[in-house]
Every structure is written in C-alpha cells, then in structure tokens.
Amino acid sequence: MSTVLTTLLAMVMFSMGCNVEIQKFLGHIKRPWGICVGFLCQFGIMPLTGFILSVASGVLPVQAVVVLIMGCCPGGTGSNILAYWIDGDMDLSVSMTTCSTLLALGMMPLCLFIYTKMWVDSGTIVIPYDSIGISLVALVIPVSIGMFVNHKWPQKAKIILKIGSIAGAILIVLIAVVGGILYQSAWIIEPKLWIIGTVYPIAGYSLGFFLARLAGQPWYRCRTVALETGMQNTQLCSTIVQLSFSPEDLNLVFTFPLIYTVFQLVFAAIILGIYVTYKKCCGKNDAEFLEKTNNEMDPRPSIHETNKGFQPDEK
C-alpha cells in the first residue's frame, strides 16, 4: 500500500510541475511580495494555528503531531483549480504551490522541531524525521521534472496534467477505502479531532485572506492567498502519516487528514458559491475596480497603493 500511495502521489506532484511555466515562476521569484505573504501564511500561520488548536483541545501528542504535519504541508493542487474559478491570480497560485512544496523540504522538519519540543523533551513521542524527509525528497523531484517537461514539451504537459488530476482523485479514494479497511478502529475517534478538522481550514482561509489584505495585496490576490493557505496537500499528509507511524499510532491519527479534506472542500465550495453569487449580483469582478478599460489605473486610493512595498499589477 505504501508503494502504491507513494507512486500515485509522485504522479500528482509531477503533473503539478507540468502546470508551472518557468518564466512566470521566475517572474514571481523576482517580485516575491505575493509569495512572501503566502510563505508567512503557509509556514507561519498554519503551524501556529495547529499548535494552538492541539494544546487548547488537549489531544494526544501523536495526534497533535499529525495536526502539525497537516499545517506544515504545502498548498494542494485543488487550490489552483479554485483560484481559476474565483478569478484569482493563477500564476501566483501555481507559484505559491510550487514554492511551498519545495520549501516544505526544510520548513516541515523545522516547524515540527519547534512546535513538538514540549512533547519530545518529555519523552512522550519521537518524531520520525528520516521518514518525513525521505517522503518530501521523493516528491520534490517529480515537481522539478514536471517543470522541465512543461518547458520543453508544453502540449504533452497538458495531457500529463489531466492524467495527474485523475490520479489525484484516485489517490484520495484509495486512501479512504484501503485505509478504512486496514484501520477500521481509526474511524472511532475523539470529537476533538472532528472539531479541529472543522475549525482548522476555516482559520486558514480567513487568516490567509486578512493577512494578504493587510499586506496591501489586491482583492483577487487576497482570495488566491486565502485558498493557498487553507487548502493543504492532504494527499501528502496522508502519505507521510502512512509511511512514518506505527499501526498502533495510525489507529489514533489515520482519519484526521480525511476529515480535513472533507471540510476544506466544503468551505472552499461555500467560498466559491459566495463569490459566484457576488459576481451575478454585481455583474463584474473586482479586477474592473483595479483598472480602467483604457489600461489606466483607477485613481481611487487603496491599501496596496499606500504601501509602497507592493506595486499594483500592470496588464
């Protein structure tokens, strides 16, 4: 099962790399304001929120570690699709997902070291850093190869992207079905984990949006950052949990990534519904408020204009 999960997840990450255009990706690296905000949300807000929720709810140390692993995971590929549907910044979304995937190689072990110190020092749990590190390295490589394939053969990359999307859906179903059979007792879990799985994605969406707005980003980028923050790569979390913990521990934590998956999709659908309703009522999206039809910027003051560290987009 571990081999199948790792292979399918590598396919998903490879297909995600096929969706990244190197020139646009480098463009965001050269003007990294949006990515920096996303980085702060992804590896600052989410792990801290997970730690606070774990301590406040009093879950077991091994359960708290899995909550933190979820918070340290990079953005999921579903956020790229939703960013398109809500008129977000697609280049920023893909760049944030890619950067967070690459940076997770160092940031996930670092965040786990910082936030699990109280449990590790007391001897109540041992963090399997070697297994987590191997899983992350094995997934960063397919992303890099996918970027190269998209650069050399963009038409073939589109086909690979479709296959990878299907593989991602199969992966979620496979984890749920096979894992449910192997760890049947894992479905009988404490209500605390249900509460954390419900609150966690809401906190990610909300805090990501408000931090991006506070940093002076335009509305469409705020929506993008919000999705990238709250929508985690739950397939990666499930795979790391499968590969890193004993069967006894899995009975306590296996279902949390699935709970998070359900609620992150539910709240993402609610956000999408609200935005679609807003567009129908107003008849336009906020991009029209940022620019005039003659490509001159709207003279009305806004937060991102007063913050000189951020420059308005020029289309």
Q: What pLDDT digit, counting tens, does each position of 291-315 carry?
A: 433 333 344 344 343 333 444 454 4
Q: Hey, how many other C-beta atoms are within 10 angstroms of the C-beta on 2?
A: 10
3-state SS assignment for residue 297: strand
pLDDT confidence of 154, banded at 50, 70, 90?
confident
pLDDT mean over 216-238: 85
Residue 205 has pLDDT above 90, yes or no: yes
pLDDT of residue 218: 86
pLDDT mean over 7-35: 71
Side-chain half-sphere CA neighbours of 145 within 13 A = 13
3-state SS assignment for residue 237: helix
Alpha helices in 1-60 (DSSP H): 2-17, 22-30, 33-40, 46-57
pLDDT of residue 203: 93
pLDDT of residue 210: 92
Token pair of 242 as six digits: 């499968």
Q: Hey, how many other C-beta atoms are within 10 angstroms of the C-beta on 216?
A: 21
Alpha helices in 73-153 (DSSP H): 78-85, 90-115, 117-121, 129-152
Task: Give the residue with greater pLDDT, 260 vs 151.
Answer: 260
Give Cα separations from 176 to 189, 220, 241, 314 (angstroms): 15, 34, 13, 45
pTM for this entry: 0.72
Give the residue from 291, 288, 310, 311 showing the smallest Cα distance to 299. 291
Token pair of 154 as six digits: 């963009």
pLDDT of residue 309: 40
Give the residue from 16, 41, 78, 90 showing the smallest Cα distance to 226. 41
pLDDT mean over 22-43: 76
pLDDT mean over 43-70: 89
Please give the share of the chain, as a percent, with pLDDT higher than 90: 7
- Least confident range from 69-78, 135-144, 273-282: namely 135-144
Are 303 and 216 in contact, with CB atoms under 8 Å apart? yes
Task: Give the residue with greater pLDDT, 29 vs 286.
Answer: 29
Residue 127 has pLDDT above 60, yes or no: yes
Residue 22 has pLDDT above 90, yes or no: no
pLDDT confidence of 199, banded at 50, 70, 90?
very high
